[in-house]
Each structure stands twice: as C-alpha cells, then as structure tokens.
Structure 1
Amino acid sequence: MTEQEVRKGGGGKLSRTETVTVRLDPKLRYLAELAARLHRRTLSSYIEWSIKVALDTEDLDSDGGIRRTIGNEAEFLWDVDDADRFAKLALRYPHLLTHEEQVKWKLIRESGAVWRGRYDGGPLNEFTWSVNEDSLIYPRLREYWATFCAVAESGEGQDKLPTWNRVDPNAPSAVPRSAPPSRSPYRSAPPPRSAPPKLSTGFDDMDDDIPF
C-alpha cells in the first residue's frame, strides 16, 4: 500500500509532524531521489528515514563502556513539555546547551524551590540540595518555566522567581547566654579593720584601791 493510499483510508490519526524547509543543490537532490526509489519511498520520507539512521551513529558520550547515541537516548531526551525536555538535556548532557540555555539552567540550579533537599543541621541549618534527576521537582519547574525563561532572557525580574525557606523555620531559635556581671576597673577600698580585742591581765575585775 502506498503512502497516498494510507492517507486516503480511514485508518488511525497521523501523528503530528513538523515541516522543515531543506535546501539541496540539484545534484544532491537528484541522487537523494534515486536513493528514495531504491527504498520505494518519497523524497521527504527518505530524508526523514535517513535522519533517524544518522541519529543512531551520533555519539553523545561513553559512560563506563556503554555507548550512548542520540538515537538510543531518544526516549529519555524527548518530552512534550518544554520544561521537562530542557531539564533532561541539561541534567545529562549539559555540554550541548547553548549560552542562552546555560544562563537559564544556572537560574534553575540555584533555585531551591524546584529541588528536593534537606536542612543541613549546621549552625544556620540551611536548605541544601543536589542537582540530579531524582531531586528535580518537575511539576514546580513547569509552573515557573515561563518566569525562568523571561528572567534569563531579560536579566530582570529576579524578584518574580520562586522563593523557599533558606533556613529551617521549625528550628528552635538560639537563646543567647546571659553576660557575666561586669567588673569595675577600679578596686574598692578595703573595709576598715576592727580593733583587736583587749587582752585580759587577770586584774581587770579588781578595784582600783588595793589594800595593803
């Protein structure tokens, strides 16, 4: 069944496609048409098929001996939401980001509002997080996606970015210790000494007149 017959039939709904204008010199176009005839395809179908084949040969990286190409990473990299699609690319292949995308990713990385984390228990008990696939809160990123894009593009409006509790609000407040009583730099005069008790001689109880 030809492509035209499939379109005329009442089969399933065709998936949404994007129209791309490609300029080919006469020689390349002619040779591509010949190749399309070999595969019994239209020229546009042959070009689409050729791109898919080429994606399987484009290496992204090699992690632990595992070869990763754009083709075999397609299911991870693609998402219908712009925010999710951008985050997946930035998390796993940040070297593919353009300069404008790097600016946007920096804003997202430094916003604790879109990451799962914990309070570190330090002196200030600050909120900390790790930038990885499991920590990102995708629904919240989608909620503020337009704001992140606008701030990254204009460099203004940082006050509109999402906020978070940088310090644990449930942590007990530190109670300051009472300061020790201050001491005067001047010494107080020593108390006056009392007169020593009078020693008894044994004759204190006798009369002054002594008879002889």
Structure 2
Amino acid sequence: MAKNKPSQGARKTETLTLRLDPKVKAMIEIISRIRRQSITGVVEAAIEEIAFDLDAPYFFDGKTLNSSLGVVFSEIWSSDESERFINLCHHLPSLMTYEEQRIWETIKSSRCFWENEASKILSDWSVEGLGCVDISNLRLWWSDLLDHVEAHKDSRTVVPFEPEF
C-alpha cells in the first residue's frame, strides 16, 4: 500500500516515480499529444484498460471466482486505508504480500478488532470463529497496529495487538 510522507497527511493523488525505456517514454509523450491528454492521463487510462482485461482470483460468497480486476476493484476500494486493507484480505487473499499477511494475522489474533456488544461499524463479511471485523476499532487503532506489527516483524510468532487506553 502506498504511504504518504508523514507531514503531508492524506492527499487526493499519489506520486509515482518510474524508470522507463526512452522509447516507451517517447511513445507515451506522442500518445498524450494525439489524445490531448497529460502524460498522467495517458498512464491512468492505460492502467484502467489493463485492469478490465485482467482476470483476478476474486473470493466471493465462499467461492474463488475469476473476474475482471476493474470490476473487483470497485468492491475493494475505499478512501480509508484500513477498510481497503480488510476488503483486500477478504476478496483477494491470494494476492497479499508477506507484510500484509502479517498484519492480517495480527488482526485475527487481536480480540479488540472483532465484533462485541460495543461494536459500532462491522464489516460485511464474517471470519469463521471470529465473527465480523469491528471497522470502527480498526480505524481508531490502524496507525498503532501498523507500528506494532513493524516493531514485532522479527518475531517468529504473531504478537497480538493490545491497545493502550
């Protein structure tokens, strides 16, 4: 997941630095002239086109299906990083990185992130034996959770997160 610089907070756009073959860069520049678009617009349009042509292993209703990434992404996307993460864990679990798997395992082992009588906002899906993720608590402690996972990254076992009140 992309991270903003600490002093900048959430932004409407993200910066991406790429190394391109000079021939490809020149081609993008020509495409942008023909389409009267910015280079960014050309790259965004190309990525969206690829996404709708690419099949993704999408988990839904207890089954793994192949569906267009462009369609699946609408189920995953949220402007809230913690909710987007939970959606990724549920719908595209086979595409998670090791670091994402470690965060997810920490969430699963931490009782504070699961539904209880005080829960306000629950995820739309359930994990057997655990229930639904308490999204309000996940949002509240997201940064602390990430710091906790980073601090325990060398541990051979997952260390449950216990928030400090």
TM-score normalised to structure 1 length: 0.54
Q: Which has the larger radius of gyration?
A: 1
CA distance in 2, matches of 1:84, 1:153: 19
| Cα shift at 1:148 | 2.0
- Report whether the alignment pairs 1:25 with 2:25: no
- Structure 2 residue runs of 5 or longer lacking an equivalent are 1-10, 118-125
**Pair 146,18 (structure 1): closer, same or farther in 2 beyond 3 Å:** closer
- 1:85-123 Cα deviation digits (max 9, x unpaired): 1111012212222111111111111223322379xxxxx
Segments of 4+ moved more than 3 angstroms: 62-67
Indicate the percent of aligned positions where both proteins have the same amino acid: 28
Work out whether residues 36 and 42 of structure 1, in 8 Å CA contact, stay in contact via their aligned partners in 2: yes
- Structure 1 residue runs of 5 or longer lacking an equivalent are 1-14, 119-129, 164-212
Higher strand proportion = 2
Counterparts of 1:119-198 in structure 2 under 5 Å? 130-131=126-127, 135-155=132-152, 161-162=162-163
| CA RMSD after TM alignment | 3.0
- The aligned counterpart of 1:85 is 84
Find 1:44's aligned residue among 40, 55, 58.
40
**For 1:161, what is the secondary structure of its paired residue?**
coil
**For 2:41, what is the secondary structure of its paired residue?**
helix
TM-score normalised to structure 2 length: 0.67
**Pair 76,46 (structure 1): closer, same or farther in 2 beyond 3 Å:** same
Higher RCO (C-alpha 8 Å, min separation 6): 2
**Pair 60,162 (structure 1): closer, same or farther in 2 beyond 3 Å:** same
Find 1:59's aligned residue among 39, 49, 55.
55
